[in-house]
Amino acid sequence: MAADDRLDDDELARRLREAHRRVRMLPAGEPGQAAEKERLARRHLAICDLAKRDPERAAARLDAFLGALEPPPDTPRDEENTVGD
């Protein structure tokens, strides 16, 4: 394994830990929330398992997973809102 490969693996591991933290912090008070959190946790585990065999493909799936975890913006943007406001 080359040193550059190790750096990529460390980055993937860091991002997997961040995804785990974000899934863990999701609310699970109501039955629907608990089911969604479980589904996301299983998806995260599948990505972790894939990372052992195919780190590049796992990184691509992790990108999509983290994108799905992004909360929607709390302030809608429209024509009257400028970027600096």
The tally of domains found in the chain comes to 1
Report the C-alpha gap between 69 and 74 in whole angstroms. 14
pLDDT tens per residue, range 58-69 = 999 999 999 988
The predicted pLDDT at position 58 comes to 96
- Residue 76 belongs to some domain of the structure: no
Report in angstroms the alpha-carbon separations of 33 from 20, 30, 52, 59, 83. 17, 5, 29, 26, 33
pTM: 0.72
Within 10 angstroms of residue 76's Cβ, the number of other Cβ atoms is 7
Report the C-alpha gap between 73 and 41 in whole angstroms. 23
- Residue 15 belongs to some domain of the structure: no
| Residue-number span of the structural domain to which 28 is assigned | 23-68
Token pair in block for residue 14:
């860091």
- Residue 51 belongs to some domain of the structure: yes
Mean pLDDT of 41-51: 97
- Residue 82 belongs to some domain of the structure: no
- Residue 35 belongs to some domain of the structure: yes
